[in-house]
Amino acid sequence: MEESILNSDERLMQETKADNMFAFDMLYKKYSKRLYKFAFSILKSEEESENIVQDVFLHLWENRHKIEKDSSIKYYVFTIAYNSSISIIRKKALESQFIEYLKSIQDLNQEPVDVEIEYNELTKKLDDIINQLPDRQREVYLLHKKEGLKYQEIAGRLNISVNTIENHMSRALKTIREKLGNYSIVAILIWYLFV
């Protein structure tokens, strides 16, 4: 058999699905530099671009058994890289807009507060609350809010009904609202803008 056939994406993916780390490493070597350049062209950050490459291949390895036989691995990895890069840009834009908004509404008679520190504290509190959710609620919440999956997609991935997904999301959101409580006006703003 020719080496080009042995090293084809289809063959490498078949081997990767069979838990062959050597084949997975060959996929990494084949695509990592191209993915890095692609992510860097969007993000203009070496560190974030390197993180994107690591995330793409972690995702590929963790989901190797779910990838359909005829899927294009090139399309698959570049789509993940693109979506992850755009998510980072959106997050930065939202954070920047939010911080500027908080500065604009700050009462001039009040003692100045470091809006960025308060924002970071509140997002950490929100992360802590999410991490304390029951496993399935947290999983559903993160798939919907962080990965942007629709309820139908989550139901398919987790092999449970859409109704069950809705129940998990409803309980998760209720818990988050209760635990944030009256933390501050900023917490309410974060809730409406980001949650």
For residue range 67-81, what is the model confidence (pLDDT) as tens digits? 887 778 888 899 889
- Give ∠ CA 173-179-184 in degrees, rounded to 5: 110
Tell whether 85 and 1 lie within a shared domain.
Answer: yes
Give domain status of residue 98, yes or no: no
> What are residue 164's phi and psi, to 5 degrees?
-65, -40
Q: Last residue of a domain, which of 91, 126, 154?
A: 91
State the pTM of this model: 0.51
For residue range 136-159, what is the model confidence (pLDDT) as tens digits? 999 998 888 877 788 888 999 899
Owning domain of residue 31: 1-91
3-class secondary structure, 154: helix
The length of the chain, given as a count of residues: 195
Tell whether 138 and 181 lie within a shared domain.
Answer: yes
One-letter amino acid at 114 equals D
For residue range 77-131, what is the model confidence (pLDDT) as tens digits? 998 898 888 888 888 777 777 667 666 655 544 544 555 666 677 778 888 888 9
Return the DSSP state at 111.
P
